[in-house]
A and B are shown apart, each in its own frame.
Chain A
Amino acid sequence: MTPKPVPTPTTATTRTYADPREPIDRTWLRRQTRHLRLWRRFLAQAIVRETHYRAHFVTTLAVGVVQLGLALVPILLLYGYTDDMRGWSQAQVLTLVGVYQVVTGVLAAFVAPNLQRMTTYITEGELDVVLVRPVSSQFYLTLRWINVAELGNVVSGLVLLVFGLVRSGASPNPLQIAQALVLAACGTVLLACVWCAMSFAAFWIQSVNPIGMLYTSLAESGRYPLVFFPFAVRTFLTFVFPVAFASTLPAQALHGGVGRLPVVGGVVLAAVAVTLVRLQWRRGLRSYASASS
């Protein structure tokens, strides 16, 4: 049976939802482009919303700058008592904090506003409304809300990063910059995955608000080079709570390269993490009993 041709609307008529329409093209590539288009709309909407709450925008920027300054206090004090900690100079640590600030800024802008809603999504049945929409529910729940103002932290992070590089006299070549970019991207994906995994626990334990706090507290360890920690903690921060990829490794790459192994390892770890979170989401959905219907 051939589908009836869809009548093209003339300029005079208005299309309504009752009109026949093209079926959604479900090929893999089309699905991705559709999601990308959707995400662009989310971003546009977030920007418009930000223009409505200008005071909120300015406060977020100001708080971000003050918090960055605060985060530097321990490092400045530390380097008041020593010039070199396990091979890291103050300028190099500043670069590292810059990288960390960029990665956490990206997460705070694109992922955090969503995961903070996880508890209400699941306990108040908002998830039901998401599930009936023709988009990937995981995509929608992880990336729907964007907090544009947090991107200010990315900018201040970049400034700090460049400042640290200039102070330490490092001049990374294009390969090293590429390494740092790949590692930082892996770090962002890995941290987002860990955070998602912790938040999706809401399927089983309902309230996950304090888990967000636990994540933020643990992520503070990213403000210091890995070698500042004992060996066992270093292993933990590389493989279990992989904050190493969000700060130490990219900073190392910028200060003279890290070789191929960490870069390949990071990409593999990120791929594994994404797959695991995807599986966890499917398992969670199966155990979800709906809260509103």
Chain B
Amino acid sequence: MNRLLLTVRRNLRIMRRMTAAHVAMSLTYRGEWVVFMAANISVPIISLLIWRTALANGAQLPVDEHYLTTYFVLLSIVTMATSSWMTGFLSRDIRLGRLSSWMVRPASLLLDFVANNLSEKILKTCALVPMVGVLWWIFRDSMSVPSGPGHLAVFAVSVVLAAVLVFTIDILVAALTFWMDDVTALHQARLIIANVLSGAIVPLALMPDWSRGFVDLQPFRYTVSFPVEIVAGHLSNTEILTGLGVQLGYVVGFGVLARLVWAAGIRGYSAVGA
């Protein structure tokens, strides 16, 4: 027990140091993050304007103006907070044998990716929050503010869970490099599917009725759409609790799967380039 505690503490310490190093590195191009986030927020703004026009034009949507506006204003924050971009890099490290130099170090290579993820998100938050603030102010009349700190806390928990879920799926896809060498196409396919099914392009509430059950239960809903729905939507307390349960289930499920696949891959790994 004591040894486990020590390992956890050491890993946390390493991660803090590495995150600081990554932040320092990312600060080289400060302007980049502002441009990145400007790009990140522009597609939700375009969608927001389109769907508001549709409503104003008398389209019979299943959601109201408040839902749509809150959804799209929050969307860029949540997609940013839950995004992960490691598949390509991790897959390259496995293929080119850079994993070898990490295997003799006292920390996992994955820790470096966690640190990178955290550091970039810290900087991105700094760039994105003011933009979303302006957007919020412009549309303040049709924003629904979460009722009470409870809602907000649940939202925060759900965003963290979603971020872990996306990260785990990324590890899972990248770990297949141990057997497949090139996972680019697989990764591409995953991105395309996730784009639609996560609600990052169109709110899942607007999906047609015949797709309801599938859309509500598939894992990608819990990577973006579900956290946003907690603030924007009309979810009842039971629905929120069930949703959190399903989300937690997916996190644990994918986590165990990724752990198994990663461990099996490491065992079968014959160092290239070492």
Contacts and interface: CB of A to CB of B under 8 A. Distances in A.
B49 interface: yes
A207 B36 CA distance: 12
Q: Which of B31, B42, B58, B60 has the most CB of A within 10 A?
A: B42
B39 A214 contact: yes
B53 A85 contact: yes
Contacts of A211: 35
Contacts of A214: 35-36, 38-39, 42
Interface string B186-217: 00100010011000011000111000000000
Interface of B is mostly: helix
B197 to A, nearest CB: 11
A205 B46 contact: no
A81 B202 contact: no
Contacts of B54: 78, 81-82, 85
Nearest to B206: A77
A280 B86 CA distance: 37
B100 interface: no
Given A82-B54, A228-B49, A210 B35 contact: yes
A78 B49 contact: no
B152 interface: no
Interface of A is mostly: helix
A124 interface: no
A218 B32 contact: no
B40 interface: yes
B28 to A, nearest CB: 9
Contacts of A213: 35-36, 39
Contacts of B46: 220-221, 224
Interface in A41-78: 59, 63, 66-67, 70, 73-74, 77-78
Nearest to A85: B57
Taking residues whose C-beta sits less than 8 angstroms from the other chain, chain A's interface range is 20 to 34
A228 B59 CA distance: 13
B38 A63 contact: no
B201 A81 contact: no
Contacts of A216: 39
B207 A77 contact: yes
A122 to B, nearest CB: 14
A81 B49 contact: no
Taking residues whose C-beta sits less than 8 angstroms from the other chain, chain B's interface range is 20 to 34
B49 A59 contact: no
Contacts of B59: 78, 81-82, 85
Contacts of B53: 85-86, 228-229
Given A81-B59, A233-B49, A207 B39 contact: no
A228 B38 CA distance: 21
A230 interface: yes
A13 interface: no
B49 A220 contact: no
A143 B30 CA distance: 30
A214 B202 CA distance: 20
Interface in A211-253: 211, 213-214, 216-218, 220-221, 224, 228-230, 233
Interface string B158-171: 00000000000000
Interface string A188-215: 0000000000000000011101110110
A80 interface: yes
B43 interface: yes
A110 to B, nearest CB: 23
A70 B195 contact: yes
A207 B49 contact: no
B50 interface: yes
A74 B61 CA distance: 13
Interface string B37-75: 011101100110111011001111100000000000000
Contacts of B35: 210-211, 213-214
B185 A70 contact: no
Contacts of A217: 39-40, 42-43
Contacts of A206: 29
Interface of B: 29, 31-32, 35-36, 38-40, 42-43, 46-47, 49-51, 53-54, 57-61, 185, 188, 192, 195-196, 201-202, 206-208
Give the top 4 A-B pairs by smallest Cβ distance, nearest first.
A82-B59, A214-B39, A210-B35, A213-B39
Given A206-B29, A207-B32, 10 more contacts: A63-B188, A70-B201, A81-B206, A82-B57, A86-B53, A205-B31, A209-B32, A214-B35, A214-B36, A221-B46
14 contacts: A63-B192, A73-B201, A73-B202, A78-B50, A81-B60, A82-B59, A82-B60, A85-B53, A213-B39, A214-B36, A218-B42, A229-B49, A230-B49, A233-B49
